[in-house]
Amino acid sequence: MLNDAQKDVIRATVPVLTENGVALISHFYNRMLTHNPELQQVFNITHQKTGHQAKALASAVLAYAQHIDNPAVLMSAVKHIGHKHASVNIRAEHYPIVGHHLIESIKEVLGDGATHEVIDAWTKAYEQLAQIMIGFENDLFQKAALQRGGWSGWRSFVISHKNFETPNVITFTLVPVDKGTVPYVAPGQYVSVKVNLPEQGLVQPRQYTVTSANEHELQITVKRIGMVSTALHEATEGTVVEVTPPMGEFTLPSGNKPLFMISAGIGVTPIVAMLKTVEENRKVQIVHVCKSQEDFALRNCVEALVKANVNRTLHVHMTQQNGKWSTDQLASQLIPDADYVICGPDSFMKAVVNTLKSHQVDESRIHYERFGVGSI
C-alpha cells in the first residue's frame, strides 16, 4: 500500500506527466518491445507506430496519478482496459515485465527528476495498479472458461465461409476446430483474432465485434483497412485462426427505454448484433453514416431487421450524395429518456458524445465503444 508521503510524490509528478507523458510512454513501449520482442505478438504494432497506444496509455497513467487517493473512481477505465487485456490474453506474468520497463523509462526520460523518492513511489503505485488489474482480469478469464462452451486463452477456429458485404467488407463464419460448442456472446461484445503475418515476421491480434453467434459458430464482419484485416480478407475458406473468448462491456443497454443507435462506417457491426436481440416492443431509432449505398456494410441485414418491426426507424446519411454529416442534425431527432448507443471512428464518437452532453443527455444514458484505453 502507498503511504501518504508516496501519494504526495505521485501527485507532484502530475505536471511532469501532463507535459511529458506521451514521450515517456513512447519511450517505454520502444524499450519494452526492444528488450522483450516476444511481446510484439501481443501488442498492436500499428498503434505503436501511429502513437495511438502511447497517447491512450499516457492519458490513463495521468488519470491514475490524479486519483491516487481513490483509484476506485477509475473502475470504469479498469474494466475497459481489463476486457481489452483479457481479449489478447495478457496474463499476470506480463505485469512484472511491463513494470520493469516503465520504471526504467521513468529513470531514463526524467533524468535527475527521477529521484529515489519518485522511483520508490511509482514502483509502489504500479504494484498497486497491477494487483487491481490482475484481479479483475483473472475473474474475466475464470468466467469465460466456466461458461458452457467457454474457454480461456486462444482457441483454434476454422474459416468455414466468407461472405462479401461490400467490396472491402467480409463477414467470416468461424467454427471451432475441436467441434465443441461456442458460449453465449452478449450483443456488442468482440473477440480477438490472431493472424500470422509471415512477411513482417509477426503474429498479430485484432478485435472484431461478433455480429452473430450460435452454439456452433460465430461471425465477425471485417473491413479491409490494415495488415491484419488484409491478411484475413486474403485467407481462404478452411484457414485456421486463433480466437479468444468474447469480451467487452459495450453491450445492449438493458430495460425498455427507447434506443437511439448512431453509427458510422464499420461501426455498424455492434448495432447489428444488438438489433438482432432487442425486445420487439422497444422503440429503436437508427442513424447510420456511410459514403454510399454500396459502402453500407450489412445493409440488407439492417434494413430487414428494421422493416420487420414497426417500432424501428432507420435514417442513412450517405456523404457522397448528401455531403458531410453534422451532429447538428441530431438536435431535432433526440428522444427524451432514450439510451444512446454510438459506434464509429473516434472523431465521430467524440463529436456525437459532446453533442449529446451539450443537450443535457445524462452520461449514464450514453454508451459507446472505446477502442483505446483513453476516454472521450
| Local structure of 221: helix, strand or coil | strand
Q: Which amino acid is at 55?
A: K
Task: Report the DSSP beta bridge partners of residue 191.
Answer: 208
207 CB neighbour count, 10 Å cutoff: 20
| Local structure of 156: helix, strand or coil | strand
All cell numbers assigned to 71: 483509484
* CA dihedral angle for residue 131, residue 117, residue 29, residue 368, rounded to 10 degrees: 50
Q: Which amino acid is at 11?
A: R
Task: Report the DSSP beta bridge partners of residue 196.
Answer: 203
Catalytic residue set: 95, 137
Largest CA distance in the chain: 67
Q: What is the DSSP letter of 201?
A: T
Closest by CA position to 122, among listed 61, 201, 75, 49: 61
Q: Where are the alpha helices (DSSP H) in 205-335?
A: 227-234, 268-275, 299-307, 319-322
Task: Report the DSSP beta bridge partners of residue 366.
Answer: 340
DSSP per-residue codes, 91-152: -GGGHHHHHHHHHHHHHHHHGGG--HHHHHHHHHHHHHHHHHHHHHHHHHHHHHHHSTT--S
Q: What is the DSSP letter of 324?
A: -
Closest by CA position to 311, among listed 268, 346, 353, 281: 281
